[in-house]
Amino acid sequence: MEAIVIPITLLISVATFLITVGGVWFVTQKRVRDLELKTLGHDKKFEQIITEISSLRTDMNAEISDVKVEIARMQGSVMVLSEKFDLFIQGRLIPSAPNAAVAGA
């Protein structure tokens, strides 16, 4: 049998190649993990922003509803006063006399 002789330079080249490939793989995996962690962080921030926007929208809708109710009340009061003023102008509504207790005070 003949002995297989592998030149030392070839062994060094193969070892260098394997070390380089292993290093590149390690660095690539680390960068991928770092990017995944950053992505998770960004996802959490986006969820927080969406939650904040939703709560603001809910608060704003509640405030708008409150304002609408108040406007409706004011419109009702204005209508009542307008009707009374029309009756007063037509002479069908006579202003009430001041209360005697208030006048005497």
In a domain, 57, yes or no: yes
pLDDT, position 38:
94
In a domain, 33, yes or no: yes
In a domain, 80, yes or no: yes
Q: Is the pLDDT higher at 97 or at 78?
A: 78
In a domain, 15, yes or no: yes
In a domain, 99, yes or no: no
- Indicate the pTM of the whole model: 0.48
pLDDT, position 3:
63
Range of the domain at 39: 8-92
In a domain, 70, yes or no: yes
pLDDT, position 4:
72
Are 60 and 67 in contact by the 8 Å Cβ rule? The answer is no
In a domain, 1, yes or no: no
Q: How many domains does the chain fold into?
A: 1
In a domain, 62, yes or no: yes
| Interior/surface letters 25-43, b for 16+ CB within 10 angstroms, e for the rest | eeeeeeeeeeeeeeeeeee
